[in-house]
Amino acid sequence: MKGICPACTTSYPVPAEKVTDKGLLVRCRRCGAVFRMFPGDQPSVLHKPPTEPEESWKARETKVAAAPPPPPEPPPPPPPPPPPPVEEVKPPPVEPEPPKVKSSAPRWIQADIFKDEEAPPSRRPPFEEEPAPPALEETEPVRTVSLESEPVRSLKIKDGEFVAEKTAEPSWKEMLSLEKKTKGDESAAEDASEPSLQELLSIEKKTKGDEFAAEEKSEPSLKEIMSFEKRLDAKPRRETAKRETADPFAKSERVSMLKIAAFGAVVVLVVAAVFAILSVVRESRRVYDNLQKRSQASQQSLDQSRQQLEYLYKYQSGLRTLDAGTAAAYETAIGDFDKSLAAKADFLPALAKKAELLALLAAEYEKTERVSEACQLADRALAAGPKAPAAIRAKAACLLASGKTDEAMKLATQAIAAVEGDQVEDAESNYVLALAYLKSKDISKAVDALKAAIGANPLHFRAHYLLADVFASQKQWQQSLDEITKALQLQPNHQQAKQRQVDYQTQLSGGNREAAAVPGMPQELGADMDKKAKSDKLLADARAAVARGATNEALGLINELLKLGVRAGAAYMLKCKLFVDTHEYQAAIEACGEARDYSADAYYYLGAVYEAQGNTDLSHQNYQAYISARPDGRFADEVRSILGQH
């Protein structure tokens, strides 16, 4: 069939059997296009466009058509004449040669046989008269040599007669040397090199009487070589057997040597077996010792795991018991921590938690008989882990129980700063800090610390419980009710919490709002609530007076606020800003100096005062102190600009 290029319409003959139903890809020689042709009358489909433009191949065809035709080829040369006929000359008939006659006689005897017989002229050797043998002298023995396999006999003169004496069988080398001497090749006979395999086979055939086979130059067959090698191997054994038969002492010596060799082999085997057994025993002992060591190590690891599980279990049990928030729960948790410490005496978390609970019993429930023990345990924990938040918090609780509130607040703050991602530890440290603030009668900071504890651990029952009491001390009954309700959700069976919920609901529903102090709170908080309310009103009035520009009125309200001893930090800061705004720099320095203990903003105002007075050194010192205390404060950008730290 024909395949037609769809690009240039050139047709090509294609065998039909190569075109399948899927088609056959064909490249056009004319334009370079690739197309797929199908059987039957189906049109070809272009697969790839032409690689050569139409103008190019048309110009090529035009050039080829316009080219002159090639010159005609010269005629072939005439054939040569046939050779003359050659007459076929037949060779003369050749008479068949007579078969070779094998004889066991020597070669010179065979020559005589051919001489007497009527042999063909081509094989008849020239007749030469052999010289007569020399006369036999009586003083020298005459030895006749035969190539037969029989032992050679020598003739000796004994008592005037020739006596034949049996001698040893000649070796292959002697036989070959003798044969070469008979052929007149004296130099080859004296050659000390080993005979070749072909020469040995030739000698063997001659000894068997096969003289013509011995003279053949053909290579020996594999069968002959193997047979000859077997005979060579058997000859030494036959000779050994003959010697042993002739010499019984040699046989017994050989048997003795064999016995000695066998005994030596047995000794070597026994020694090797003993060494092997000792090696196996030693290796078995080593394996057994390793197994014993591994068993002991496994047992020690198991004991350590059990011990670890024991002290960890008791520690976790104490933490769960602690969540109840009662004095009895504290005592039970301390007992669990004692068991944990009995399993592992240097377990830092249990040591610090026991010290903390003993101190909290004194701080919350006025059980001061074990404060000294709490401080000793806290010192041990702090010595074991100087940077551990639990140890620092235990020391803060000890100081709080000992009445050292300021030091307790500093250590509690340090414990919060030492926490790295542990929300539970952060909540406990904030709870101890809240107790310290309550001890120092700073209600607002106590509320902030309790809220921080709840934010770190919403399941902290004691924080909810104490925050409800703090809100109740401020007569914020709704907040108190909300917090005590959350506490009851964590500990539904807590009796004191249930009683507080009833009291807060009574106060909220219009009961006696000026009733006695809330149970569980310090007695001073009832009187302090009135002071706080009065101080909040005085502070608001003072700020309003400053905003109106009534400086004297504001100073009077601030002094009255300072006499109450509540909100002192806010009062000093307001006084500091008031003197700075009125350009009373000396009074501002005194007021801002007092305010530094409460707020880092006082450093900013002190820096502004010293800058206005032209004291650059003190100004920069206070500005730098502000940046260190509040790097992200509201005045931080302004201070950095002044210090040139952008």
Residue 272 pLDDT more than 90? yes
pLDDT at 143: 41
DSSP string, 21-85: TT-EEEE-TTT--EEEE-STTPPPEEEE--SS-HHHHHHHHHHHHHSPPPPPPPPPPPPPPPPPP
pLDDT at 122: 46
pLDDT at residue 500 in the model? 86
Phi/psi of residue 254, nearest 5 degrees? -65, -40
Of 94-108, 278-292, 594-608, 627-641, minimum mean pLDDT range: 94-108
| Residue 419: partners with Cβ closer than 8 Å, 6 or more residues away | 389, 425, 426, 429
CA–CA dist 273, 279 (Å, integer): 10
Q: Name residue, tokens 């010293």.
A: 610
217 vs 205, residue with greater confidence = 205
Q: CA-to-CA distance for 494 and 502, rounded, in angstroms?
A: 13
pLDDT > 90: what percent of the chain? 3
Alpha carbon separation from 140 to 133, 163, 440 (Å, rounded): 15, 13, 151
Averaged pLDDT for residues 473-478: 85
- Cβ(2)–Cβ(11) below 8 Å: yes
Range of 206-215, 301-310, 420-429, 532-541 with top mean pLDDT:
532-541
Least-confidence region, from 126-130, 166-170, 349-353, 517-521: 517-521
Burial of 193 (0-12, 13-18, 19+ CB in 10 A): exposed
Q: State residue 184's pLDDT score.
A: 61
Average pLDDT of the chain is 75
pLDDT for position 133? 47
pLDDT of residue 149: 41
In this model, does residue 276 exceed pLDDT 60?
A: yes
**Residue 268 — pLDDT band, cuts 50, 70, 90?**
very high
Residue 46 has pLDDT above 90, yes or no: no
**Better-scored residue on pLDDT, 3 or 206:** 3
DSSP letter at 513 equals T
Using pLDDT thresholds of 50, 70 and 90, give the confidence band for residue 564.
confident
pLDDT in tens, 71-123: 666 666 666 666 655 455 455 555 555 555 444 444 433 333 333 344 444 44
* Cα first-last separation, the chain: 89
pLDDT the model gives residue 515: 38
Q: Which pLDDT does position 105 carry in this prediction?
A: 42
pLDDT tier for residue 325 given thresholds of 50, 70 and 90: confident
pLDDT at 455 over 60: yes
Q: Write out the DSSP string of 426-451.
A: HHHHHHHHHHHHHHTT-HHHHHHHHH
Q: In this predicted model, which residue has the larger pLDDT, 182 or 312? A: 312
**DSSP per residue, 183-203:** TT-HHHHT--SPPPHHHHHHH
The predicted structure's pLDDT at residue 267: 92
| Segment among 213-227, 346-360, 569-583 with least mean pLDDT | 213-227
Distances (CA, A) of 642 to 583, 609, 619, 634: 20, 14, 10, 14
pLDDT over 80 at 619, yes or no: yes
Residue 3 DSSP SS3: strand
Confidence of residue 429 (pLDDT cuts 50, 70, 90): confident
Q: What is the mean pLDDT of residues 387-414?
A: 87
pLDDT score for 365: 74
Stretch among 30-34, 67-71, 318-322, 365-369 having the lowest mean pLDDT = 67-71
Q: How far is CA 488 from CA 321, 492, 543, 574, 643, in A?
A: 16, 5, 41, 42, 54
pLDDT of residue 139: 40
pLDDT of residue 137: 39
Mind listing the pLDDT tens digit for each residue in 238-259? Answer: 666 666 565 666 667 778 888 8
What share of the chain in percent tops pLDDT 70? 66
For 152-161, how does the pLDDT look when each residue is reduced to its tens digit (9 = 90+)? 444 455 555 5
List strand residue ranges (DSSP E) for 326-428, in order.
none
Given a cut of 50, whether residue 519 has pLDDT beyond it is no
430: phi > 0 → left, psi -120 to 50 → alpha, else beta; which?
Answer: alpha
The band of 218, judged by pLDDT with boundaries at 50, 70 and 90, is low
- Predicted pLDDT of residue 265: 92
Bigger pLDDT: 76 vs 412 = 412
For 38-42, 364-368, 487-491, 550-554, which range has the lowest pLDDT when averaged over its residues?
Answer: 364-368
Whether pLDDT at 124 is above 70:
no
Per-residue pLDDT at 277 exceeds 90: yes
pLDDT confidence band for 140 (50 / 70 / 90):
very low
